[in-house]
Amino acid sequence: MAKGPVLITGGAGFIGSHLTDALLAKGHAVRILDDLSTGKRSNLPLDNPAVELIEGDVADAALVARAMTGCSAVAHLAAVASVQASVDDPVRTHQSNFIGTLNVCEAMRQSGVKRVLFASSAAVYGNNGEGQSIDEDTPKAPLTPYASDKLASEFYFDFYRRQHDLEPVVFRFFNIYGPRQDPSSPYSGVISIFSERAQKGLPITVFGDGEQTRDFVYVEDLVDVLVQAIEKPEVEVGAVNVGWNQATTLKQMLQALAAVVGDLPPISYGPARSGDIRHSRADNQRLLQRFSFPPQTPMSVGLARLLGR
Ligand code: NAD
Ligand code: UD1
């Protein structure tokens, strides 16, 4: 692998800061480009001389080009991660979630950096049947601007692969959870919100009947695979699902939470969110073939770590 720092866009966020720690532990230097819209300086070991933070927007092409200079590889994670935010404000989220990707592709082409991993999403598949696990060839049916921006980004990475020899590794993350996932907004990841409210004894609202399912992955398990994608000598074509092929209902997740914290606060059920996916479960054969996926962190352990128990 070429020398030079790994550029992590969105590196001050939840997944990006864990990836930063993992890359530092393997001896890489890291340069982060983040506008700190949901990310935080406090997520980063900024006293480590191998970490550099550039505060700014991936929608700013000149800034992305500057940040790319001298880098060995890129992890493109910067995005508005909330599906619901894209439903409410598609124009704003498109700037980060698509224009940011195009700027990363162009800056790579201009600077000759080849390897990039991209945080796409299970959201590109839209709805699937209950109990059905989806492989990467399942027809794509994005239901929201968020999912459309992720799918369009995938197509652009593929174009730059064919036309300009970029080496994209596209991951479709299912639902990632763990420490540093910010619970402070109603748009935050459901486990971060429910755990914080359970810990503080505040009421919990489930949108819908709580029977919707997600394939939850503890963040450290994901990060292990992301580091492999940066370091692999060769990359294969085609996106890779990251999930455990396990469907957990929100009600089951709440039971697991209750087992960690004891009694839960009152739970109410409100209307389902528009654009919300009902069932989501990864067929992960391709992941298992291409990467060594670590042993699964069980939800009981992941939740206990998240809650500091
Ligand atoms: P996060 O909100 O913690 O991280 C996103 C980071 O990007 C933040 O640090 C934020 O400040 C930064 N950012 C946002 N817009 C930016 C912009 N215009 N310019 C520069 N920085 C910007 O969320 P996360 O859960 O860590 O998500 C990381 C990536 O993984 C995102 O691309 C998200 O879509 C994707 N993803 C996450 C999940 C999940 O379950 N958490 C699942 C699928 C895909
Ligand atoms: C999440 C990620 C998204 C990713 C996708 C991949 C976040 C914020 N979103 O979207 O980036 O691409 O997984 O699968 O990380 N819910 C409640 N009550 C709440 C909050 C949420 O019932 O207070 C419900 C939602 O309606 C939904 C489920 O919990 O049915 C999961 O919601 P959320 O954590 O926002 O995740 P996704 O929409 O799946």
Summarised one tens digit per residue, pLDDT across range 245-284 is: 999 999 999 999 999 999 999 999 999 998 889 999 999 9
The ligand that comes nearest to the alpha carbon of residue 249 is 2
Confidence at residue 128, expressed as pLDDT on a 0 to 100 scale: 79
Domain-wise residue ranges, the chain: 6-176+217-242, 178-214+246-283+295-306
For ligand 2, say whether the CB of 212 is within 6 Å of any of its atoms. yes
Separation of 52 CA from ligand 2 center, angstroms?
31
Confidence at residue 187, expressed as pLDDT on a 0 to 100 scale: 86
Separation of 190 CA from ligand 2 center, angstroms?
5
**Which CA distances in Å does 298 have to 199, 217, 305?**
20, 9, 11
Residue 209 has pLDDT above 80, yes or no: yes
Confidence at residue 1, expressed as pLDDT on a 0 to 100 scale: 59
Q: Find the range with the poorest average confidence among 34-38, 154-158, 305-309.
A: 305-309
For ligand 2, say whether the CB of 80 is within 6 Å of any of its atoms. no
Residue 146: active-site member: yes
Mean pLDDT of the chain: 96
Separation of 255 CA from ligand 1 center, angstroms?
28
For ligand 2, say whether the CB of 207 is within 6 Å of any of its atoms. yes
Average pLDDT over residues 192-207: 97
Average pLDDT over residues 203-228: 97
- pLDDT tens column, 43-80: 999 999 999 999 999 999 999 999 999 999 999 999 99
Confidence at residue 186, expressed as pLDDT on a 0 to 100 scale: 85
CA distance 113 to 74: 8
The ligand that comes nearest to the alpha carbon of residue 198 is 2
For ligand 2, say whether the CB of 147 is within 6 Å of any of its atoms. no
Task: Check: CB of residue 146 under 8 Å from CB of residue 121.
Answer: yes
Extended strands (E) in 208-260? 213-214, 216-218, 240-242, 248-249
Options 125, 146, 156, 177, the catalytic residue? 146
Separation of 166 CA from ligand 2 center, angstroms?
31
**Which CA distances in Å does 238 have to 24, 127, 142, 244, 259?**
28, 21, 18, 19, 39
Average pLDDT over residues 123-137: 90
CA distance 20 to 300: 25
For ligand 1, say whether the CB of 17 is within 6 Å of any of its atoms. no
Could you tell me the pLDDT band of residue 127, with boundaries at 50, 70 and 90? confident
Architecture of domain 178-214+246-283+295-306: Alpha-Beta Complex (3.90)
Confidence at residue 2, expressed as pLDDT on a 0 to 100 scale: 58
Query: Which residue has a Cα nearest atom 14 of ligand 2?
Result: 174
Long-range contacts of 17-22, Cβ-Cβ distance < 8 Å, separation of 24 or more: 17/43, 17/44, 17/180, 18/178, 18/180, 18/219, 18/220, 18/222, 18/223, 19/75, 19/77, 19/223, 19/226, 19/227, 20/44, 20/45, 20/51, 21/45, 21/223, 22/223, 22/224, 22/226, 22/227
Confidence at residue 202, expressed as pLDDT on a 0 to 100 scale: 97
Query: Which residue has a Cα nearest atom 26 of ligand 2?
Result: 207
The class (CATH top level) of 6-176+217-242 is: alpha beta
Q: In sequence order, what are the beta bridge partners of 34?
A: 55
Confidence at residue 129, expressed as pLDDT on a 0 to 100 scale: 76
CA distance 39 to 105: 22
